[in-house]
Amino acid sequence: MWPFELTNKRIYRRMGYELDQKEYYIRYLSEIQNWSSHILNTKHFITTNAKKCSEHNTAVVLGSGWCIDVPVMELSRMFEKVYFVDLLHPPKVVAKFKEFENVHFVTEDITKIVAETYNCVNRYKSFSVDMLSASTNYSTADYSDLLVNFDFVVSVNTLAFLDDLILEYLIQMELVDHLSSKNLSRFIQTYHLGMLPKGKSCVITPVKIKSYNAEGLEMYDRPMLFFDTEDIANSKEWVWSYSSGHLTTGRRDYTVKAWMV
């Protein structure tokens, strides 16, 4: 049984996570051909490294979402128990895999700060990284101590996006500036990487984004992470054409990197 206390789904919905999840799936349906190689690369990297595990008792996938890029059946065959963790699980996904008795869906915030952010804003009309650090509800030890007991841990295409809706909410409430938003993003990414147990954790994430306008001219090219990934050994890299321009006036391409921690 997953030992974490489940947080409030109502808060997740109020901060836009349910709508964001639906919009992501709509994007996927419109971009299937452009996303196919990225999805195959992601699944292949996960299954390849899952096979190398010395034990195959338990596996956990952080940021599973629609499970579009997660090899659910393969992991279910390889491990006695598999846990899929996310803020919200689409009912269609849960129903699709309900016949897999060893697959468990856990509703949990892997940043551990979504509800805390919402509560700080509503209670104090203020927010800062220092407030998080001082909070008795925020502890990196909880996840680190739990995840080390799994034989295989996967962070799937989520690290670079963990701060998106948190920052969007804080910006909407006019509670962050450019510097404080960078500090918060760095804080979230550092925590996420720090909680992954060494030697058995698989990380797949966009590391860079290129944006183009409707005429195909490059608008910007910037990193998405607050640490250098250039020298990571034995990593794989590919391009995820997130938007071909059918739904927007421009295009976004992500450079994705995958490695074992």
Question: Is there a domain that residue 104 lies in?
Answer: yes
Question: If you count DSSP H runs as helices and E runs as strands, how many of each does the chain have, helices first?
Answer: 10, 8
Question: Is there a domain that residue 102 lies in?
Answer: yes
Sheet strands (E) in the chain: 58-62, 81-86, 103-107, 152-156, 201-212, 218-223, 236-243, 251-260
| pLDDT of the residue at 203 | 98
| pLDDT of the residue at 3 | 42
| pLDDT of the residue at 159 | 96
Question: Is there a domain that residue 30 lies in?
Answer: yes
Largest CA distance in the chain: 52
Q: In the chain, which stretches have pLDDT less than 50?
A: 1-6
Structure tokens at 239: 């391009």
SS3 letters across 66-95: CCCCCCHHHHHHHCCEEEEEECCCCHHHHH
| Number of Cβ within a 10 Å radius of residue 77 | 14
Question: Is there a domain that residue 214 lies in?
Answer: no
Over residues 34-49, the pLDDT tens digits come to 999 999 999 999 999 9
Question: Is there a domain that residue 193 lies in?
Answer: yes
| pLDDT of the residue at 4 | 41
Range of the structural domain that residue 83 is part of: 9-205
DSSP string, 15-53: TTHHHHHHHHHHHHHHSHHHHHHHHHHHHHHHHHHHHT-
| pLDDT of the residue at 136 | 60
Domains contained in the chain, number: 1
CA separation for the pair 145, 109 (Å, rounded): 16
Contact 173, 119 (CB under 8 A): no
What's the CATH code of the domain at 152? Answer: 3.40.50.150
Question: Is there a domain that residue 226 lies in?
Answer: no
Question: Is there a domain that residue 213 lies in?
Answer: no
Question: Is there a domain that residue 245 lies in?
Answer: no
Over residues 76-119, the pLDDT tens digits come to 999 999 999 999 999 999 999 999 999 999 988 888 888 888 88
In sequence order, which residues have a C-beta less than 8 Å from that of residue 77 and are 6 or more positions away?
none
Q: What Cα–Cα distance (Å) separates residue 9 from each residue in 117, 188, 260?
A: 14, 20, 31
Quick check: helix, strand or coil at residue 118? helix
